[in-house]
Amino acid sequence: MAAANRSALLVVAMAAAVLATTATGATTYTVGAPAGSWDTRTNYAQWVSAVTFRVGDQLVFKYSPAAHDVVEVTKAGYDSCSSSGPVATFNSGDDTVPLTATGTRYFMCGFPGHCAAGMKIAVKVEAATATGGSGTALSPMAPRPRTPTAMAPNAMPPMSGGRPVSPSSSASKSTGVASLVGLSLGAIVAGLMSF
């Protein structure tokens, strides 16, 4: 009987983990995409202003490692474009950085003159929401909009009731999966309560 209870609890824990992952709607953002990348030409202030970053999201920096790198720095390092005493350094040319906690994270290119030329971003990470922000699934390359007015008119997603509408059916599929996982989790918990 105890082994059955432990097995059932393991199943509940696994289902809860799946539900939590599905419900958060984590998004991967390629820095500067779709119009740019990690380079000296992209307007990062504009790019960051069009995105709401949440815990669980990921940043991907794509660049030529012979020409750039990514250095995570403190606010003081960001403000002064100093990469001495970095929090972390990346130099693969295809770096993924998970956003695991709320707060602001600072990134810059450590190559001389690049930060001063604007190759730096400050990413404010907000708490994850149960619906993954707007509750819709967005393309991994598309920024999650802060407000409809934060995006250029031609980049604004179709709207329905004030909420962005995904151009595909992936939003309803992810909602359906979350619903099924939730129902399954509820059935498992109900079954455990009968023990």
Structural domains of the chain, ranges and CATH numbers in brackets: 26-127 (2.60.40.420)
Percent of the chain with pLDDT over 90: 50
Task: Give the model confidence (pLDDT) of 70-104 as tens digits.
Answer: 999 999 999 999 999 999 999 999 999 999 999 99
pTM beyond cutoff 0.85 = no
Residue 194 has pLDDT above 80, yes or no: no
The confidence band for 129, taking pLDDT boundaries of 50, 70 and 90, is confident
**Residue labelled with tokens 């994270």:** 105
Peptide bond into 34 cis (omega under 30): yes
Predicted pLDDT of residue 16: 41
CA dist 188 and 95 (Å) reads 39
What is the phi-psi region of residue 137: left when phi exceeds 0, alpha when psi lies from -120 to 50, beta otherwise? beta
